[in-house]
């Protein structure tokens, strides 16, 4: 099916003896945004690493139906010896494109993520945490991926910038049909961008609740109620995560 970008079916994963994920099923299609939420340490980054192919499942299958996958990690992971422009342009290395064209594309993407022009040639250590995060987002977007994996992409950004980044992603979803699997701790960001929000339990993580935006009523009040329901599921998941720890006290 041409529409499918990612299929994860019956995925189990453990780090040695430590079972982290159990029977996880996720499919992501073109133009679809999936949000992943859950208690800290439950396995969200691990799940993204499996989706990216950095880890292999112990059981089940992970199939990417596109080679054009990009990820933005929880930490920006920029190359310290390259300035912002060159960090972004690096994602285009290997493309048949003159260096000048790569640099211009990188500068345009830095402008799109709202990095001030006087920072475009600064090095990562000269940028704020939120700026580094935006350079990292620009690097993920510049190669025009079909599947984008985002790990808490907005946690260092203020409210206005989050709105700007959400609008940028929405435009890319609309115009290029990109699909997104995004980890977030903010139910409001999930409710704004995601078609489906999945809440993971922990030890090992399984999808304990799933919320489809299409089934929700329109309007601000309905949106607020939707956010509250996601947050309630998160509280339940967090309580479940705390209970086993208590038993060891
Ligand atoms: N390389 C590793 N080796 C062994 N255990 C690991 C490794 N990476 C993560 N873990 C463990 O796996 C579990 C899941 O970690 P993961 O980073 O996926 O959680 P997370 O949901 O992304 O958490 P957070 O919200 O804090 O980012 C944690 O208990 C963590 O200690
Ligand atoms: Mg994580």
Q: Which residue has the higher pLDDT, 242 or 1?
A: 242
Mean pLDDT, residues 91-120 taken together:
95
Task: State if residue 44 touches ligand 1 by the CB under 6 angstroms criterion.
Answer: yes
**How far does residue 8's CA lie from ligand 2's centre (Å)?**
18
Does ligand 1 come within 6 angstroms of the Cβ of 17?
A: no
CA gyration radius for the chain?
A: 19
CA distance 27 to 6: 5
Q: What is the pLDDT of residue 214?
A: 85
- Mean pLDDT of the region 86-113: 95
Q: Quote the pLDDT of residue 239.
A: 86
Average pLDDT of the residues in 189-213: 93
Tens of pLDDT, residue by residue over 7-52, are 999 999 999 999 999 999 999 999 999 999 999 999 999 999 999 9
**How many Å lie between the centroid of ligand 2 and the Cα of residue 66?**
24
CATH 3.40.50.300 for domain 4-68+147-247:
yes
Is 248 a residue whose pLDDT tops 50? no
Task: Look at the block and give the residue holding tokens 């329901």.
Answer: 229
* Across 138-143, average pLDDT: 96
Contact 41, 21 (CB under 8 A): no
pLDDT band for 232, please (50, 70, 90 cuts). very high
Site to probe by mutation for ligand 1, drawn from 19, 44, 156, 238 as the one with most ligand atoms within 8 Å of Cβ, is 44
129 lines ligand 1 (CB under 6 A): no
Decide if pLDDT at 249 tops 60: no
Pocket lining: 43 vs ligand 1, CB cutoff 6 Å: yes
The confidence score (pLDDT) of residue 244 equals 56
pLDDT of residue 246: 52
pLDDT score, position 240 = 81
Ligand at minimal distance from the CA of 238 is 1
**Closest atom, ligand 1, to C-alpha of 48:** 18
CA 67 – ligand 1 centroid, Å? 26
Question: Ligand 1 within 6 A of 42 CB?
Answer: yes
Model-level pTM?
Answer: 0.93
Q: Establish whether residue 117 lines the binding site of ligand 1, counting it when its CB lies within 6 angstroms of any ligand atom.
A: no
Q: Where are the domains of the chain?
A: 4-68+147-247, 81-143
Protein residue with its CA nearest to atom 23 in ligand 1:
41
Residue 80 has a CB neighbour count (10 Å cut-off) of 8
Nearest CA to ligand 1 atom 28: 41
Per-residue pLDDT averaged across 212-216, rounded? 87
Average pLDDT, the chain: 92
């Amino acid at each position: 099916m041409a529409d499918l970008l990612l299929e994860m079916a019956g995925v189990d994963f453990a780090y040695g003896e430590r079972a982290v994920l159990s029977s996880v099923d996720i499919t992501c299609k073109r133009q679809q945004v999936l949000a992943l939420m859950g208690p800290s340490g439950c396995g969200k980054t691990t799940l993204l690493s499996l989706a990216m192919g950095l880890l292999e499942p112990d059981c089940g299958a992970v199939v990417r139906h596109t080679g054009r996958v990009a990820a933005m990690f929880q930490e920006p992971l920029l190359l310290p010896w390259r300035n912002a422009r060159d960090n972004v342009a690096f994602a285009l290395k290997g493309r048949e494109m003159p260096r000048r064209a790569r640099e211009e594309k990188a500068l345009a993407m830095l402008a799109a993520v709202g990095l001030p022009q006087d920072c475009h040639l600064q090095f990562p250590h000269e940028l704020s945490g939120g700026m580094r995060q935006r350079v990292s987002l620009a690097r993920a977007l510049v190669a025009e991926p079909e599947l984008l994996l985002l790990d808490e992409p907005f946690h260092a950004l203020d409210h206005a910038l989050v709105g700007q980044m959400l609008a940028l992603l929405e435009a890319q979803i609309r115009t290029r049909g990109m699909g997104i699997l995004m980890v977030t701790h903010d139910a409001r960001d999930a409710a704004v961008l995601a078609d489906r929000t999945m809440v993971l339990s922990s030890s090992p993580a399984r999808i304990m609740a799933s919320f489809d935006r299409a089934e929700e009523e329109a309007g601000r009040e309905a949106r607020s109620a939707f956010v509250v329901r996601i947050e309630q599921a998160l509280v339940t998941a967090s309580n479940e995560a705390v209970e086993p720890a208590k038993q060891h006290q």
